[in-house]
Amino acid sequence: MQVRSFYIILLISLWLSQGCKYISEEKACISGTFTKLPETQLYIYQILPGSSPLLDSVYTDASGNFSISFPVSSAGYYSIQNNPDNEITLVVSPAEKIILNADGKSLRDTYTVKGSPETELYCEYNRFTATNLLKVDSLSGIFAESRANPDFISIKSRLDSAYLQIFNQQKAEVIAFVNRHPASLASLLAVSNNFGPNPLLSEQTQPELFLMLDSALSIAYAGNKLVNTFHLRMIDFKAELAESKSRNKLLSPGMPAPEIVLPNVSGKPVLLSSLKGKLTLVYFWSSWSAQCRQANIKLTGVYSRNHSHGFEIYAVSVDPDRELWQKAYMLDKAYWIQVNDPKGLASEYCRTYAVQAIPRMILVGKNGAIIARDPEFGELETLIKENL
Task: Count the residues in the chain.
Answer: 388
pLDDT score at 204: 84
pLDDT score at 244: 75
pLDDT score at 101: 98
* Per-residue pLDDT reduced to its tens digit, 248-298: 788 899 999 999 999 999 999 999 999 999 999 999 999 999 899 999 999
pLDDT score at 40: 97
Q: What is the DSSP string of 270-330?
A: EEGGGGTTSEEEEEEE-TT-HHHHHHHHHHHHHHHHHGGGTEEEEEEE--S-HHHHHHHHH
* Per-residue pLDDT reduced to its tens digit, 6-29: 444 333 343 334 455 444 458 999
- What is the C-alpha separation between 327 and 181, in angstroms, rounded? 40
Which residues are paired to 314 by β-bridges? 282, 337
- What is the C-alpha separation between 240 and 354, in angstroms, rounded? 9
DSSP state of 40: -
pLDDT score at 21: 47
> Is-above-0.85 flag for pTM?
no
- What is the C-alpha separation between 290 and 301, in angstroms, rounded? 18
Q: Which domains does the chain have, with CATH numbers?
A: 21-111 (2.60.40.1120), 122-250 (no CATH), 261-387 (3.40.30.10)
pLDDT score at 153: 84
- What is the C-alpha separation between 83 and 88, in angstroms, rounded? 11
pLDDT score at 236: 93
pLDDT score at 122: 96
DSSP state of 344: G
Which residues are paired to 237 by β-bridges? none
pLDDT score at 10: 37
**Sequence-distant (≥ 6) Cβ neighbours of residue 358 within 8 angstroms:** 284, 285, 286, 289, 291, 292, 318, 345
pLDDT tens, per residue, the chain with 388 residues: 444 444 443 333 433 344 554 444 589 999 999 999 999 999 999 999 889 999 999 999 999 999 999 999 999 999 999 999 999 999 999 999 999 999 999 999 999 999 999 999 999 999 999 999 999 999 999 989 998 888 888 898 899 889 999 999 999 999 999 999 999 999 999 999 998 888 889 998 899 999 999 999 999 999 999 999 999 999 999 988 888 777 778 889 999 999 999 999 999 999 999 999 999 999 999 999 989 999 999 999 999 999 999 999 999 999 999 999 999 999 999 999 999 999 998 899 998 998 988 999 999 999 999 999 999 888 999 999 999 8
Question: For the stretch 180-208, what's the b/e string if a residue is b when 16 or more beta carbons lie within 10 angstroms of its beta carbon?
Answer: ebbebbbbbbbbeeebbebebbbbbebbe
